[in-house]
Structure 1
């Protein structure tokens, strides 16, 4: 708890300094959140180049708009709202907004997560049998996640991978809490069905 408070206090200090035009503080905020924002946008767009473009635009708008940031919510949820809007903008531009390209069963082997949920790089060390099984389960979950409608996918990512509350998610996605809960319910149901089908279960 004490470390979390130190983390929050440091972040507040960085924000205040960045709001006053301190470029070093702005760079530290960028370093603090870049991997997580990129990972989120990668899952959203399913395309590394689009995710990189959206991440860069997110931080450009985020740093530029810091003067308008007020502590009504967390800085994290404020920044993820910008990222969400940028992701949607790029998906609309690419004409992928309301549909997801079908994924063939053989594509499961090609789906990789470039960053762990905390934003750190994946560790390429040799894996034990138990870890291999866990990785296969994770791969199946990522494949199912990739097939979800974009808005359902975003609720799962924001809730499970980023640990945001449904209140924060509803603010980010500009919808009601009940809508966020409903999307989460539908997403979990769809994912279970896809994973069970992939494992040969009815």
Structure 2
């Protein structure tokens, strides 16, 4: 069965068919939750913010112009709601540890990751992403998990494309540093520095 385009459900919703909006929720709830969770770092808060996101999207649907994809518009709402929640909680988390990684170390990390079961690998990666700054975690999620373009991420976050590229580059370095600490703890000292 061919899946209908988002615009079909948007038009139906705007004509008063609230059940049509539930199809959009079903399509996007997992990624909306993931993006929010990466920023707020709390399952309960992410669930609340996701509900707020869909409520805001429903209430604002008439303002959706279709200039960008519906998903981009929706993720933009989710991202901003998540940042609002973080500001509300006045939490700031960041990993400032960035170091150059040699090709040999990258190979060791990749070999070690290959030995970890798929579920454990997912848990390690999620823990490392959770340790990134809120905005960086969201950008990594958009780029690597949703496979959005740099331009789409810029539209969602309100940052410039160049800023997104810089943040992705720095986030990759931070992730390698964090992954190295998880999979090769014997190679790092208590300060997280390579031995």
What is the TM-score when the length of structure 1 is the normalising length? 0.77
Q: CA deviation at 1:56?
A: 0.7
Q: Output the CA distance in 2 between the equivalents of 1:199 and 1:28.
A: 41
**Deviations 1:122-144 (CA, angstroms, capped at 9, x unpaired):** xxxxxxxx895222222221111
| Alignment of structure 1 residues 4-15 onto 2, 5 Å | 6-7=2-3, 9-15=4-10
**Partner of residue 64 from structure 2, selected from 51, 63, 69:** 69
Q: Output the CA distance in 1 between the equivalents of 2:159 and 2:34.
A: 23
Please say if 1:140 is aligned against 2:135: no
Structure 2 spans left out of the alignment, 5+ residues: 96-113, 188-193
Q: CA deviation at 1:36?
A: 2.1
Q: Output the CA distance in 2 between the equivalents of 1:55 and 1:82.
A: 10
Q: Output the CA distance in 1 between the equivalents of 2:170 and 2:116.
A: 29
What is the TM-score when the length of structure 2 is the normalising length? 0.79
In the alignment, which residue of structure 2 is the partner of 1:29?
24
In the alignment, which residue of structure 2 is the partner of 1:149?
133
**Deviations 1:104-136 (CA, angstroms, capped at 9, x unpaired):** xxxxxxxxxxxxxxxxxxxxxxxxxx8952222
**Deviations 1:150-192 (CA, angstroms, capped at 9, x unpaired):** 1111110111111111101011110100100100000000010
Q: Output the CA distance in 2 between the equivalents of 1:22 and 1:39.
A: 27
Q: Output the CA distance in 2 between the equivalents of 1:144 and 1:93.
A: 24
> How many matched pairs?
169
Higher radius of gyration, 1 or 2? 2
In the alignment, which residue of structure 1 is the partner of 2:103?
none
Q: Secondary structure at the match of 2:71?
A: helix
Highest RCO, 1 vs 2 (Cα 8 Å, sep ≥ 6): 2
**Partner of residue 14 from structure 2, selected from 11, 15, 19:** 19
Q: Secondary structure at the match of 2:167?
A: helix
Structure 1 spans left out of the alignment, 5+ residues: 102-129
Q: Secondary structure at the match of 2:16?
A: coil
Please give the root-mean-square deviation of Cα atoms over the aligned residues, in Å: 2.1
